[in-house]
Chains A and B, each alone.
Chain A
Amino acid sequence: MALDEIKIGGMGASRRRVEDNRFIRGKGNYVDDIVLPDMLHMEILRSPVAHARIKSIDVSKAWDTPGVRLVLTGEMMAARNLAWMPTLSYDTQAVLATDKVRFQGQEVCAVIADDPYIAKDACSKIVVDYEILPAIVNPLQAADPASVLIRDDKENQPGNKVFDWEIGDKAGTDKAFAAADKISKIELHYPRTHPSPLECCGSIADYDRATGKLTVYMTSQAPHIVRAAVALVAELPEHQIRIVSPDIGGGFGNKVPIYPGYVISILASILTEKPVKWIEDKTGNLISTGFGRDVYLKGELALRKDGRILGVRMNTISDHGAFFSDAQPSKFKIGLMHSAFACYDIPVAHMMSTGYYTNKAPGGVAYRCSFRVTEAMFFQERMVQAAADDLGMDQAEFRRINFVKDDEFPHRTAFGFLTDSGQYGKCLEIGLEAIGYKNFAKEKAEAASRGRLLGIGISTMTEPLGAGNSREYDILGIKMFDSAELRVHMSGKALLRTGAKSQGQGHETTWAQIVAHELGIPAEDIVVEEGDTDTAPFGMGTYASRSTPVAGAAVAMVARKIRAKARKIAAHLLEVSEEDIEWELGRFYVRSNQDRGVTIQECAMAAYSNMPDGMEPGLENNAYYDPPNLTWPFACYIAKVEIDPETGVWDVLQFVAVDDCGVRINPMIVEGQIMGGLTEAYAMANMQYITYDEEGNCIGANYMDFLLPTAWETPGFELYEVVTPCPHHPIGAKGVGECATVGGPAAFVNAVMDALKDKGVRNIDMPLMPNRVYEALTTGKDIYGMPPVRVGN
């Protein structure tokens, strides 16, 4: 009899998480928990100013501090050719400043001491003489030819522009706009924000002079990329570098790039011949590491009277800070921004994107996002709502009319992506029903009689998750595939390793479920390991919701290889030919006699003790998986909000989420991902952003200025499910980790804008803080969020 898949913790089981057993006991192993013998501690001195020439650095008093072992400056790094390092976007980034500082928080010196307190003390004794330069804090200033040149360290860098990038059909789009009945325009700013995992970045570099081996324990979502980069930057042989990502306290894209702190700790360990620990503080994390967003849009839709979208025009300007260090596939300078409008059937589209340097922190990481998809979907859904309003059309109906229909897949989008599956209309109808869309007019009138403004906001989108395929997606030339290695021991228990790296997603639980599904080995008999480059197969790591689409597929594929070999062993054990063997979960049997069979465990034992003549012993294998396409989950998020016009405060009365992420491996974990993502969406819509004053001071440098929602503010979310399997994924799954963060913000903002529709307000840039809403309400004017921030804002 085949096994009960749910009982063995296979696909579809809401299996309780394996990793929880250590986390709930306080026995996680995060980088700051690791203590090595004779370990030293490193502290980084950061620039207090946004833009300045360094006239001199006096480190003598730091050196004189008892307990200090090493003080590093940019000059000392330069002497070892390490003052600058390459970024993941083919730019360079200062490790320790030599000539200038280019953003507030930039790394200037590092002190290595016996104790972290001593290192901090010594940092405060370093005297740096800065000649202050004007700071550029938004891309409009950066574009002004009269502005100061930020990257004068680079040859052939005449201005502050990072790139121009273009995609789509310009002539065709112009034609569509010329033929339009109506053109709907909107300008938006997706403000700078920060992924801000609770755990900051950190590393312990441990160089062993005797063996020549460098081991680095660090907070990396992509340890193999780090190994490759360290080999390049530090010129160490790759086989002598071991990167270990232990438990990670949240990543959200922030822990993909390679930061100066990691590199400095490595050099410090080489120089001191002792392990060197660097643990960033929260301010360091917020002001210097990979931020998200900071993109401006001019968006236009060409519309026909009946509601059809005839063409899309998007012009984006993005602010990349002082160094172009976006972590993204190298072909796409503004990530996958051109995934916008993928769920709508649009004949033609054109996008122009320009990026600028500013005197702000570098980054532009994919913050819980598949490379700028968050901006793309926010812009898309704000443009859609504005267009529906401009046409005087119901916002749900406008979406219905323009959706790609269920029978139109595969569908080539106007920007060239190939979407392959979905039931967009069905998801929308479930959402509308759940929110009570039909009765909304009545509800709104009733609220108005109480002096309250009610609004409903819809956000529907399909997004590309799971890069590669390797034809189009690479980072620093390394193709974006992923991997899994499976060893089935003779007792039928197994060890699985992948090239991904969980930061809370629960891989130790779900990967085992995929193996259980493919082989019938109970999930509890499978241990999952990730994050150690000496043991894990090469993989590109976990971000951009790519683990299930790519590494998860590799897990299924390696399990199938194991099953293929086990089938040969089964034929041998049952003394029949392989063609006469059938498989049911956990067991092979003889087709003509179902009672005659062997379990996968019996095959495993035989692989080590009774294999057929000529067969290689053992039962292990690996798989490298290069996906044929991205996966395309769909989501419909609907928010109902109530505004108090006296204060500008808005409350979420109800929030409905309908997610179609294909087949769900562990529904409990999927729902956890969606709720977490929606909370970050709510945060960005409501409070969570980073801005700068005109001198380039970062406002949002700690959790008192950079606001995160607590359990008190965070609304409840109602979750619904539609399942359209991914046609090309081995188990039909699609990515899901980021859908809610990507699609969620527009639902909140659209809801508030819907409530303000009659007040002459068309847009308030995020975050929709009460003072902004109140100001818009009382003046009837849009609120534009470009820094420098106004005092009190």
Chain B
Amino acid sequence: MSSLYEEISAPPAGDVPVRRVTIDVNGQARTVDVEPRLLLAHLIRQGLKLTGTHTGCDTTSCGACTVLFDGRPIKSCTMFAVQADGHKVETVESLASASELHPIQEGFKEKHGLQCGFCTPGMMMAAKALLERNLNPTEDEVRWAISGNLCRCTGYQNIVKAILWAAEKMRAESN
């Protein structure tokens, strides 16, 4: 507890069931009580206050809510928080360290891979999942990897360039 005084909230109205879950979020174990119907995206955004993960469509279509779940990209608007119990979740907030951007972040800025910025966190997480299993993707492989993520501003061309730029930088760094 961080504050000296915290009001004990009233018990949940009626007989709302609550489940206690522990999720590794960005390398930190977070233990929370959640209603079983709470969506993972909402836990991340409202509960854990990691608002970089966005919700765009509610139907698993747009990918703005993409996070990594045990390293795989998933759409957190279509997973319940309870399903993440005991699993590892990475959000956009995990990409940069205090002093350094992730090459994917640098690539998006360098290649103008974003405009309004709303799809960007999901795009970057999808890109991260790709580059973690394939550091030398073709343009088609990049396009396929982000085909679950919609962007309305950029037309994708610069996003693809950004990811290829990042891949190149990561290859150079790993050598």
Chain B residues with CB under 8 Å of A23's CB are 114, 117, 120
The docked-state distance in angstroms from the alpha carbon of A248 to that of B53 is 15
A780 to chain B, nearest CB (A): 35
Contact check, B118 vs A30: say whether CB atoms are below 8 A apart.
yes
Among the 9-residue stretches A690-698, A711-719, A766-774, the one with 4 or more Cβ atoms under 8 Å from chain B is: A711-719
The docked-state distance in angstroms from the alpha carbon of A669 to that of B148 is 25
A20 at the interface (CB under 8 A from B): yes
Contacts A25-B93, A26-B92, A198-B62 given; indicate if A252 touches B152 (C-beta within 8 A).
Answer: yes
A505 at the interface (CB under 8 A from B): yes
Q: What 0/1 pattern do residues 99 to 141 of B give for CB contact below 8 A with A?
A: 0010001001110101111111100100000000000000000
- Interface on B for A, CB 8 Å cutoff? 13-14, 35, 37-38, 45-46, 49-59, 61-62, 64, 91-93, 95-96, 101, 105, 108-110, 112, 114-121, 124, 142-144, 146-160
Chain A residues with CB under 8 Å of B91's CB are 26
24 CB-based A-B contacts, threshold 8 Å? A24-B109, A24-B117, A25-B52, A25-B92, A26-B50, A197-B116, A197-B118, A198-B150, A504-B116, A504-B153, A672-B115, A675-B157, A676-B152, A676-B153, A676-B154, A676-B155, A677-B155, A679-B156, A703-B57, A703-B62, A708-B152, A710-B147, A712-B144, A714-B155
Most A Cβ at <10 Å: residue of B35, B101, B143, B157: B157
B64 to chain A, nearest CB (A): 6
A618 at the interface (CB under 8 A from B): no
Chain B residues with CB under 8 Å of A708's CB are 150, 152
A583 to chain B, nearest CB (A): 32
A-B contact count (CB 8 A): 173
A27 at the interface (CB under 8 A from B): yes
Contact check, A672 vs B112: say whether CB atoms are below 8 A apart.
yes
Q: What 0/1 pattern do residues 26 to 67 of A give for CB contact below 8 A with B?
A: 111010110100000000000000000000000000000011
Contact of A282 among B38, B59, B108 (CB under 8 A): B59
Contact check, A250 vs B116: say whether CB atoms are below 8 A apart.
yes
A75 at the interface (CB under 8 A from B): no
Contact check, A704 vs B155: say whether CB atoms are below 8 A apart.
no
The docked-state distance in angstroms from the alpha carbon of A140 to that of B46 is 48
Contact check, A199 vs B56: say whether CB atoms are below 8 A apart.
yes
Chain B residues with CB under 8 Å of A153's CB are none
Most B Cβ at <10 Å: residue of A66, A281, A676, A716: A676
Contact check, B61 vs A703: say whether CB atoms are below 8 A apart.
yes
Q: What 0/1 pattern do residues 658 to 672 of A give for CB contact below 8 A with B?
A: 000000000011011
Interface residues of A in 171-226 (CB under 8 A from B): 196-200
Contact check, B112 vs A669: say whether CB atoms are below 8 A apart.
yes
Contact check, A712 vs B64: say whether CB atoms are below 8 A apart.
no
A678 at the interface (CB under 8 A from B): yes
Chain A residues with CB under 8 Å of B143's CB are 711-712
A503 at the interface (CB under 8 A from B): yes
Most A Cβ at <10 Å: residue of B54, B142, B144: B54
Contacts A26-B93, A676-B154 given; indicate if A198 touches B148 (C-beta within 8 A).
Answer: no
Residue of B nearest to A279 (CB): B55
The docked-state distance in angstroms from the alpha carbon of A117 to that of B13 is 13
The docked-state distance in angstroms from the alpha carbon of A252 to that of B93 is 28
